[in-house]
């Protein structure tokens, strides 16, 4: 049961953000893509966020990804003891991807969540919030990276956790 719950929280986010683009080299809109997605060196990640242990998770299937806008990605679990509370995925866009273009961001965001993400300003960040299966999702773009925080619906401090996650910088 625990493994099934874990995968239900992790899989949708990981799959959505490594989605392939149009064709190798450049997609139809001219955005650069890559055929190799690596595991991100995320040594910048803290050991804990809001008292939750942050641990890297195995990121399966990266070798099978082709034509992606990201060249590296890493998924982390945030746990309270053995209980999975949230996941934080960090991806680095491939060189040449115009990650700060709002149209490009909208295309990425349209692949995430059950409904259209709503922009929310938190400090200096624009965070796009939506929902997934039994979770709240927050997505933001910064310095050539994107972050996706997936928090279980039952967690009682999602906004506080999001504010802590926004402090993580590559």
The predicted pLDDT at position 32 comes to 63
pLDDT tens by residue, 11-53:
444 444 444 443 334 444 445 666 678 888 989 999 999 999 9
In a domain, 15, yes or no: yes
Low-confidence ranges of the chain (pLDDT < 50): 1-30
Look at the chain and report how many structural domains it folds into.
Answer: 1
- Output the DSSP codes for 31-96: -B-BS--EEP--TTS-SEETTEEEEEE--TTGGG--SBSEEEEEEEEEEETTEEEEEEEEEEEPTT
Question: What is the spatial distance between Cα 5 and Cα 12, in angstroms, rounded to a whole number?
Answer: 12
**Residue 71's domain is classified under what CATH number?**
3.40.1000
In a domain, 90, yes or no: yes
- pTM given for the model: 0.82
Q: According to the model, what pLDDT value does residue 66 have?
A: 67
Bridge partners of residue 88, in order along the sequence: 76, 149
Evaluate whether residue 102 is within a structural domain. yes
pLDDT at position 68 is 79
- Does a structural domain hold residue 170? no
pLDDT at 50: 95
According to DSSP, residue 107 is labeled: H
pLDDT given at position 80: 96
Q: Please give the C-alpha separations between residue 56 and each of 129, 135, 158, in angstroms, as whole numbers.
A: 23, 19, 20
- List CB contacts of 121: < 8 A, sequence separation 6 or more: 127
Residue 112 CA to residue 130 CA, distance in Å, equals: 8
First to last CA, the chain: 34
Burial class (CB in 10 A: 0-12, 13-18, 19+), 25: exposed
Domain assignment of residue 102, given as a range: 2-165
Q: Is residue 51 a part of any domain in this protein?
A: yes
Q: Which of 87, 15, 75 is nearest to 42 (CA)?
A: 75
Residue 55 lies in a domain: yes
């Amino acid at each position: 049961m625990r493994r099934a719950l874990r995968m239900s929280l992790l899989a949708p986010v990981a799959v959505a953000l490594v989605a392939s683009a149009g064709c190798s080299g450049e997609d139809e809109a001219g955005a650069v893509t890559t055929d190799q997605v690596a595991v991100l060196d995320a040594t910048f990640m803290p050991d804990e966020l809001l008292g939750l242990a942050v641990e890297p998770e195995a990121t399966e299937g990266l070798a099978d990804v082709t034509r992606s806008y990201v060249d590296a990605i890493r998924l982390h679990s945030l746990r309270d003891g053995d209980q999975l509370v949230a996941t934080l995925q960090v991806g680095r866009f491939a060189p040449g991807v115009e990650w700060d273009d709002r149209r490009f961001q909208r295309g990425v965001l349209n692949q995430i969540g059950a409904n259209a993400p709503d922009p929310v300003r938190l400090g200096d960040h624009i965070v796009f919030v939506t929902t997934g299966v039994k979770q709240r999702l927050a997505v933001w773009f910064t310095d050539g990276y994107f972050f996706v925080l997936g928090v279980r619906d039952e967690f009682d401090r999602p906004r506080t956790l999001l504010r802590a996650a926004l402090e993580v910088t590559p």
